[in-house]
Structure 1
Amino acid sequence: MTTDTSRTARHRIHLAAHFPGVNSTTVWTDPRSRSQIDFSSFEALARTAERGKFDFFFLAEGLRLREHKGLVHDLDVVGRPESLTVLNALAAVTDRLGLAATVNATFNEPYELARRLATLDHLSAGRAAWNVVTSSDAFTGE
Structure 2
Amino acid sequence: MSLLDRVRDLLRRNSEPQLTTDEPGLSVVAEAFDAAEADSAVLARSHLWDEGKPAVLRHHLTLPAGRVAEAERVLAQDGWELRTVSESDGVATLHALRVQRLDALHCAQERSRMAGLAARLGGDALGWDALQRPGAG
Give the TM-score, by structure 2 length.
0.32
Structure of greater Rg: 1
Give the number of the structure with larger relative contact order, counting CA–CA contacts within 8 Å between residues 6 or more apart.
2
For normalisation by structure 1, the TM-score amounts to: 0.31
Structure holding more strand per residue: 2
